[in-house]
Amino acid sequence: MSTAVPAATVTGRRAPAIALDRVARTYPGGVRALDEVSLTVEHGTFLAVMGPSGSGKSTLMHCAAGLDSPTSGSVRIDGREISGLNETRRTELRRERVGFVFQAYNLIPSLSVEDNITLPLRLAGRRPDRDWLRALTERVGLADRLSHRPAELSGGQQQRAAVVR
């Protein structure tokens, strides 16, 4: 397993975390969810995507994260163009470089909180660092809930488990 190294530009500066350039996404039937959207998100910044229902927020996030492919335009994660990557390579890039907290949290009901949190690492063939896991779960108040299933948690606890994952 290789360690991801941040991409650099010609100036030696770190590439943006995410860069979309004139991204469009048209669905079957001609529904144009994104119309040449350009957006740059630098490392260490926070971004809120807001708008009315149906305005393309989820489509934007899915394209930016490589979950969906734009109809046209360019999407770069850490300086790496993702449009030409096959599904396996996009999955590997997402696993190493992108974190998700979905609206429904997507916790697997049959797994414990600990197993839900460490699932991406295990899928990558890596073992979780026990000290890291303990520190994160203590920080979000879930250290005493690691053996619980998602249904045994409050909505806020489920959300925090998804954030830690």
| Of residues 42, 162, 77, the one with CA closest to residue 113 | 162
- Whole-model pTM: value is 0.67
Give me the domain span that covers residue 33.
Answer: 18-97
* 5 occurs within a structural domain: no
DSSP 57-124: HHHHHHHHHTSS--SEEEEEETTEE-TTS-HHHHHHHHHHH-----TTTT--TTS-HHHHHHHHHHHT
Cα–Cα distance for residue pair 130/50, rounded to 1 Å: 37
pLDDT-wise least confident of 39-48, 51-60, 96-105: 96-105
Q: Report the pLDDT averaged over residues 17-36.
A: 95
Q: In this structure, what DSSP letter does residue 14 have?
A: B
- The reply to whether 92 and 119 lie within a common domain is no
* 11 occurs within a structural domain: no
- The reply to whether 89 and 122 lie within a common domain is no
- The reply to whether 83 and 132 lie within a common domain is no
* 132 occurs within a structural domain: yes
Instruction: Tell me the CATH number at 41.
Output: 3.40.50.300
User: What pLDDT band is residue 4 in, cutting at 50, 70 and 90?
Assistant: very low
- The reply to whether 81 and 126 lie within a common domain is no
- The reply to whether 84 and 121 lie within a common domain is no
Q: What pLDDT score does 41 carry?
A: 94
Q: Which of 44, 72, 97 is the last residue in one of the domains?
A: 97
Query: Between the CA atoms of 26, 41, 7 and 76, what dihedral angle is there, to the nearest 10 degrees?
Result: 0
Q: Report the pLDDT averaged over residues 11-39.
A: 92
User: What pLDDT band is residue 20 in, cutting at 50, 70 and 90?
Assistant: very high
- The reply to whether 45 and 79 lie within a common domain is yes
| In contact, 70 and 36? CB cutoff 8 Å | no
Question: Mean pLDDT for the chain?
Answer: 88
* 104 occurs within a structural domain: no
Domain total in the chain? 2
* 64 occurs within a structural domain: yes
| In contact, 130 and 111? CB cutoff 8 Å | no
